[in-house]
Every structure is written in structure tokens, then in C-alpha cells.
Amino acid sequence: MRIVVLAGGIGGARFLRGLKKAAPDADISVIGNTGDDIHLFGLKVSPDLDTVMYTLGGGINEDQGWGRTDETFKVKEELAAYGVGPDWFGLGDRDFATHIVRTQMLGAGYPLSAVTQALCERWRPGVRLIPMSDDRVETHVAVTIDGEQKAVHFQEYWVRLRASVDAQAVVPVGAEQAKPAPGVLEAIAEADVVLFPPSNPVVSVGTILAVPGIREAIADAGVPVVGLSPIVGDSPVRGMADKVLAAVGVETSAAAVAEHYGSGLLDGWLVDTVDEKAVERVESAGIRCRAVPLMMTDLDATAEMARQALALASEVRA
């Protein structure tokens, strides 16, 4: 079975670990969000690609959900001693090596997709990890701070400001001109099922879908598209997804996120058992819906979520 997953960082990566356990023989292609990418200290950092790579490759800091395990911060301290910032983005020494290799290869002319493949030769994530695009896309968030309206990089909004101010708009800058990376449309065309993990619907899955051609390819693939809600009991399980949902006019609920994707894209949607009452509303929007436990508390629970998603996919296919 060929499965395509559109993944952000933590939610996507953890789900993928469960999917690999649930479907050990499946051929899994992951289309990764690169809208979170940022240049820091002259280095190209791809947080979501790295979170997937480290999580599946056994190098992730499990408690944090991002960054390397067994990390130290000597380089960051040295940079701070020179007064060189930003100091709000946590880059550890081990992690720095990944960004140095990436930046070096990009400088030598390799596209991000080839660089990602090279990095994965070390990590062996057991999936084919493809960035959504080789072109530069950067998610910016419009905010008002001290009466002044401005746009900040998504990382600045999320990490430095901790989404403490309202997001007025979320713009994937460059997406309109971006092309899907080599392999993206091919993977979708060859897929038996497409899954949206419980990743952020706006700044992770939404950004991937904003690359022209990707949404259309999924809608036209003629295979089941099933998603899992990142919203449980009307709030994000982790992080501040409510802030970016509000910016696109979507209420923070499992049903509203399904409607936001819409029946033109989604065939099936899983909500958590606490959101059982959402099932009827989602089904009346033309999307098959089931309520099952959706908390990725451990690998077995996550694998069961993946099984439920695949079961729903077979059901809508029938």
C-alpha cells in the first residue's frame, strides 16, 4: 500500500511513528512543510523537516518534541557572547551540524529535496521525506504590536511572541510562485490513500496545500483522503493553533477544521471521542466521520489512530 502524508512538525512526526507501526509494509511518502523554514546565523533551518527526520530516525528530544536528544548549547552561548542573536530560537550544537550540512549543500547548488534525501541517508526515517517545494516559501503573520501593524516571520510569532498577540493574517509568502518539489505530484498520483495527520491545519497542512498543484493533485487523485483532528475538546492538544485558525476565520473545533478542508478535499475525518457530538455536523458537510481516541500518548495509542484512519479510508473507498 502506498500512503502519502502531509506533515508539519511534532503532530505529523509523532503520527508517522504510529503509522509505521500500524502499516509496517506500507510505502510511505511524507510531504513536509517548509513554510516554517528560517535563515539564522547564515544557516538554513527547516524545523518541520528536521522534526520528522529526527523523530523517525531516533534522534529527537522526546520531551520537547523538537531538536536533538542529548543536546548542548555551547555554540549558542558563544554567539550570545558576541552579542549575535536571535537568542529566542533554540539551536543546539548537534542540531547546528544538520543546518551547516544543509546550507553547505544548498550553496553548492543542490535543491532542498536532494539535500533532505542526503540528510535522511544518515537518519533512515523509513519514509520518503520530500519537502513540499524546493522554492523558498516563508509563512508570515500580520500582527499589531504597540499600535504598529507589521508582519513577522512565523517563527518569531510562534517562538518569540508565543502567539501572545492575535494573528490578523497568515501569509505563506512565495507559495503562489512555488512549484511542488520533484516527487511530490508523482507520490500523490501513485498513492492508494492520502492522510492528513493531526498537524496544524493552517501553518502546516494549509501551507503545503497553498503550493499550486498540490491541493488539485490530491483532490483529483481519486483516492481516499482522511484526516485526524489536531483539535480535541475545542482546543489544540499542543501549541497555539487556535490563534492561526482565528486568523483564517475558522473556529477552534474538530468539526470546523473538517469543514475548512471541505468535502472537495476530505473524504473522511477522525475526531476524538470527547468530540462525538461533532460527528453529525461533519457528516452533514459530506465528510465521513468517526469518533475514536486521538491522543498520541504512546506508540500503541498512536498506531491505533493510524489503523482507524486506514480503516476509514477503506470504508470511504468501498
Q: Which is nearer to ligand GDP, 46 or 51 (CB)?
A: 51
> Binding to ligand GDP (CB under 6 A): which residues in 41-60?
48, 51
- Other C-beta atoms closer than 10 Å to the C-beta of 114 total 16
> Binding to ligand GDP (CB under 6 A): which residues in 10-39?
10-12
Please state, in angstroms and rounded to a whole number, the distance separating the CA atoms of residues 283 and 287: 5
Taking CB under 6 A as the rule, does residue 155 contact ligand GDP? no
Q: Alpha-carbon torsion 288, 291, 293, 296, what sign?
A: positive
Cβ(159)–Cβ(139) under 8 Å?
no
Q: How far is the CB of 294 from ligand GDP (least distance, A)?
A: 4
- Other C-beta atoms closer than 10 Å to the C-beta of 314 total 13
Taking CB under 6 A as the rule, does residue 292 contact ligand GDP? no
Alpha carbon distances (Å) from 266 to 31, 128, 133, 258, 261? 17, 23, 22, 8, 6
Work out whether strand 38-40 and strand 138-145 pair parallel, antiparallel, or are unpaired.
Answer: unpaired
Q: Select from Ca ion, ligand GDP, none the partner in contact with residue 198, using the beta carbon and a kind-dependent cut-off of 5 to 8 Å.
A: ligand GDP
Of the candidate residues 296, 303, 309, 310, the single one contacting ligand GDP (CB under 6 A) = 296
Taking CB under 5 A as the rule, does residue 48 contact Ca ion? yes
Of the candidate residues 6, 7, 9, 181, the single one contacting Ca ion (CB under 5 A) = 9
Contacts with Ca ion: how many residues (CB under 5 A)?
4
Binding window for ligand GDP (CB under 6 A); candidates: 20-28, 103-111, 123-131, 237-245:
237-245
Chain mean position to CA 130: 12
Tell whether omega for the bond before 230 is within 30 degrees of 0, i.e. cis. Answer: no
Interface contacts to ligand GDP, rule CB under 6 A = 7-12, 48, 51, 198-200, 204, 228-230, 232, 236-239, 241, 294-296
Interface contacts to Ca ion, rule CB under 5 A = 8-9, 36, 48
